[in-house]
């Protein structure tokens, strides 16, 4: 056997989020072989950028290098690769909205925003210039509030973005620019969970920006960097900066 199949499994194990990894491993365990249509259905149901082509490459290598290997063996190998990579997660990952390609292992903005919100245990800091058409995000924030996560929303008042979060009531704290900062705009787009993970990019919290527009971003998983970002945002809300006020 060549090294192609192990290399492909290791690469995929490093980048897949836990929920998607669990689903793919379950699918592989149910597959009779590389040509099983259950793999086609799973790939069609998970159209993340690059994932379909990666799974296709794995199936081709499986077919040519070890066709008698059971799907359960690939599932185990994938899980082992993910566990081995868990202690060395890349500090950054690319995120996009709109058209996707197989050129890079890119994740979709809508899905990663949900993942970041779900990863919060104590706090969420979210900034957006505009916000509307985000029922899924509001649902996730309601669930986070139910876990006693403190949620601060930094929103541009001129775009009426706070209206998108009205169903959350007092479960969230809303911040707008102070009246003495009217010459500037709150243009940042951030979703930060605790002090460990942050999504940064061009996408506002709107349905079109999260799914359809051509948007580019990154997700940071370096606690040192994310911690400094969180500290800066807290400073903006404090009395020293006097930049933000409670909405």
pLDDT digits (tens, 9 = 90+) for 164-190: 999 999 999 999 998 776 678 889 999
Average pLDDT of the residues in 100-120: 82
Task: Specify whether the CB–CB gap between 106 and 200 falls below 8 A.
Answer: no
| pTM for this entry | 0.66
Average pLDDT of the residues in 223-238: 90
Q: Measured between alpha carbons, how far apart are the two ends of the chain, in Å? A: 62
On the question of pLDDT at 198 being above 50, the answer is yes
Q: Which of 96, 119, 82 is nearest to 48 (CA)?
A: 96
Residue 93: its pLDDT value, please? Answer: 82
Burial 164-194 (b: 16+ CB within 10 A, else e): bbeebeeebebbbbeeebeeeebebbbbbbb
Burial 2-13 (b: 16+ CB within 10 A, else e): eeebeebbbbbb
**Per-residue pLDDT tens for 145-159?**
999 999 999 999 999
Q: Which of 89, 113, 90, 108 is nearest to 98 (CA)?
A: 108
Residue 203: its pLDDT value, please? Answer: 94
In whole angstroms, give the CA distance from residue 122 to residue 150: 6
Give the pLDDT band of residue 230 (cuts 50, 70, 90): very high
Average pLDDT of the residues in 222-238: 90
Q: Is 92-246 in CATH node 3.30.870.10? A: yes
Residue 1: its pLDDT value, please? Answer: 44
- Using a pLDDT cut of 90, give the percent of the chain over it: 58
In whole angstroms, give the CA distance from residue 60 to residue 65: 8
Residue 192: its pLDDT value, please? Answer: 97
Given its phi and psi angles, is residue 16 left (phi above 0), alpha (psi -120 to 50 degrees) or beta?
A: beta
Task: Specify whether the CB–CB gap between 133 and 161 falls below 8 A.
Answer: no
Q: Which of 206, 38, 50, 210 is nearest to 131 (CA)?
A: 206
Average pLDDT of the residues in 194-221: 93
Residue 106: its pLDDT value, please? Answer: 66
Between 65-69, 72-76, 154-158, 241-245, the lowest mean confidence (pLDDT) is in 241-245
Average pLDDT of the residues in 47-51: 63
Residues of the chain with CATH 3.30.870.10: 92-246
Task: Specify whether the CB–CB gap between 149 and 124 falls below 8 A.
Answer: yes
Give the pLDDT band of residue 243 (cuts 50, 70, 90): confident
Chain mean pLDDT for the chain: 88
């Amino acid at each position: 056997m060549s090294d192609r199949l192990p290399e492909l499994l290791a690469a995929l194990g490093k980048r897949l989020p836990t929920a998607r990894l669990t689903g793919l491993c379950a699918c592989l365990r149910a597959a009779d072989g590389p040509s099983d249509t259950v793999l086609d259905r799973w790939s069609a149901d998970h159209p993340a950028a690059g994932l379909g082509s990666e799974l296709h490459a794995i199936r081709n290598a499986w077919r040519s290098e070890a066709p008698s290997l059971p799907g359960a063996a690939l599932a185990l190998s994938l899980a082992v690769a993910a566990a081995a990579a868990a202690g060395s997660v890349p500090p950054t990952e690319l995120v996009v909205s709109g058209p996707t390609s197989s050129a890079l292992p890119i994740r979709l903005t809508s899905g990663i925003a949900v993942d970041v919100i779900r990863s919060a245990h104590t706090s969420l800091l979210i900034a957006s210039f505009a916000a509307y058409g985000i029922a899924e995000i509001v649902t996730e924030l309601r669930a986070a509030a139910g876990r006693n996560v403190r949620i601060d929303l930094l929103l541009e008042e001129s775009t009426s973005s706070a209206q998108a979060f009205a169903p959350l009531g007092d479960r969230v704290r809303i911040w707008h620019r102070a009246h003495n900062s009217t010459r500037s705009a709150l243009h940042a787009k951030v979703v930060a969970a605790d002090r460990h993970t942050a999504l940064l990019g061009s996408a506002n919290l709107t349905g079109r920006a999260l799914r359809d527009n051509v948007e580019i971003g990154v997700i940071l998983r370096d606690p040192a960097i994310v911690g400094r970002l969180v500290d800066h945002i807290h400073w903006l809300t404090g009395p020293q900066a006097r930049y933000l006020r409670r909405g």
